[in-house]
Amino acid sequence: MIKRILIANRGEIALRIIRCCRNLDIETLLVYSSADKDSLPVQLAQYAVCIGSPAPKDSYLNQDRIIETALKNGCDAIHPGYGFLSENADFARKCEENGIVFIGPSAGLIEKLGDKQSARALMKKNRVPTVPGSEGLVADGKQAGKIADEIGYPVLIKASGGGGGRGMRRAYGRDEIEGAFDEARAEAIASCGNGDMYIEKLIINPHHIEFQILADKKGNIIQLGDRDCSIQRRNQKMVEESPSKFISEKTRKKMAKAAVKAAKAAGYYSAGTVEFVVDEKENFYFIEMNTRIQVEHPITEAVTGVDIVKEQIRIAQNLPLSYKQEDIKPEGCAIEFRINAENPFKDFAPSPGEVKYLHLPDGIGIRTESMLYQGYKISPFYDSMVAKVIAYAPKRLEAIKRMRTALEEIMIEGVDTNIEFLFLLTFNPDFIKGSYDTSFMEKNTKGLLEWNRAGRMAAAEEAKEAEKEAG
């Protein structure tokens, strides 16, 4: 059994893992960079070891240093959280070679699924619907043009190793494709060092709907329902909710089945997420499988009552799942808003700095996951997400109202944040009615910024009708 886990991450997810380990009577050792020496996870983990300077490559991505720290300090497992090394097959392999349990799937599984093009091919072979597109990798802009002519415009050029929306470009015609291909590839190489590219048909204004999977090493696979993550900025998620308001129960069932089939086809174990895009007619297509814990996992925890991190750790210890499929009965509605230290008026530029005053929201149905405290200095070296607020209620409109109340209450002073922007979003009639897709932010950012300038009254007025309808 695992006695001591090394946590190779920071921020709110490090705290989430520390809390879970405490509940399981497992010791925690946190590795951190010098920029994080005063962080809450450093204070709350039983042991903390500084492994390098702030740049991720010198600390949170320094594989050998992390393995060495685990071995030296008697850690029998490593939890990678999300981002950083969480989907790095080489790292998972190094853990395996050193007799350390990697809390996630095997290196082989990460490899198989982390390469999006080969994951696509695997799904296609197993009859999980995929977006029409290139059969394999696409060598250059010229070949991209030929393929796009065959499948028809518009197309989406994607990086096989990409993540966080990087290495992706749309092309609406022959004249754009070669330029778009080169741009996408350059961005892919810069962000993940891998220039492997493929092409999909661009689904017009789809929904992003994903299913949470749990699978143990004994062949049991269950799904914990769906999350609608269509509210995105530049292909990056901002708001997530469970269940999706868009799909019918019939589609939900079909997608759940496809998600389990996808995990089975890969021989998957651990917690994982099967992502789909869904068109306006509710046709759904696999886009990728994430082999780690997701930022948005708490909304699934809210509607199912399952502690996903705990299950992930249990699976890593070769224990069977604590649940059977029939035990999972999602109830109510949960919404997560990502609070970022950024300035929406400056194209959402990050806003690091010292938190001079802090109040985090509370109350019925509210869960806040954050590493902030008063006096904490938000570092410029890492992601700008500083808190997640999750609102849960039996009914969707009630969850929205609880979220609104929470966002009215939360105070993070000293840095710019997207709090007011998100607060105003809760008044948007389309959001209230649940009639939105991935084009929502493109359509609404300008209007939300105008509301922000005009004050809250205008927003409240516009929400009234929609609330009546949704109520």
Enumerate the active-site residues: 292
Q: Does position 163 bind ligand ADP by CB under 6 A?
A: yes
Q: Does position 438 bind ligand ADP by CB under 6 A?
A: yes
Q: Does position 370 bind ligand ADP by CB under 6 A?
A: no
Candidate residues 232, 251, 291, 351; the one interacting with ligand ADP per rule CB under 6 A: 232
Question: Looking at beta carbons only, is 162 or 414 nearer to ligand ADP?
Answer: 162
**Measuring CA to CA, which residue among 378, 389, 468 is closest to residue 429?**
468
Candidate residues 131, 278, 399, 422; the one interacting with ligand ADP per rule CB under 6 A: 131
Residues 297-316 within binding reach of ligand ADP (CB under 6 A) = none
Candidate residues 83, 162, 298, 330; the one interacting with ligand ADP per rule CB under 6 A: 162
Q: Does position 235 bind ligand ADP by CB under 6 A?
A: yes
Question: Looking at beta carbons only, is 151 or 449 nearer to ligand ADP?
Answer: 151
d(CA 94, CA 359): 41
243: preceding bond cis by omega (within 30 degrees): yes
Q: Does position 39 bind ligand ADP by CB under 6 A?
A: no
* Exposed/middle/buried for residue 267 (C-beta within 10 Å: 0-12, 13-18, 19+): middle
DSSP classification of residue 427: T
Q: Does position 200 bind ligand ADP by CB under 6 A?
A: yes
CB 227 within 8 A of CB 317: no
> Minimum distance from CB of 428 to ligand ADP (Å)?
19
DSSP 122-183: HHHHTT--B-SB-SS---SHHHHHHHHHHH-SSEEEEETT--TT-S-EEE-SHHHHHHHHHH
Size of the site for ligand ADP (CB under 6 A): 18
Cβ neighbours of 358 (radius 10 Å) = 18
298: preceding bond cis by omega (within 30 degrees): no
Alpha-carbon distances, residue 389 vs 247, 251, 338, 431 (angstroms): 24, 28, 7, 17
Candidate residues 11, 206, 365, 414; the one interacting with ligand ADP per rule CB under 6 A: 206
Q: Does position 243 bind ligand ADP by CB under 6 A?
A: no
CB 466 within 8 A of CB 433: yes
Q: Does position 221 bind ligand ADP by CB under 6 A?
A: no
x/- letters, 80..119, toward ligand ADP (CB under 6 A)? ----------------------------------------
Q: Does position 130 bind ligand ADP by CB under 6 A?
A: no
> Minimum distance from CB of 285 to ligand ADP (Å)?
7
d(CA 100, CA 389): 33
Q: Which residues bind ligand ADP (CB under 6 A)?
A: 131, 156, 162-165, 200, 202-203, 206, 208, 232, 235, 275, 277, 287-288, 438
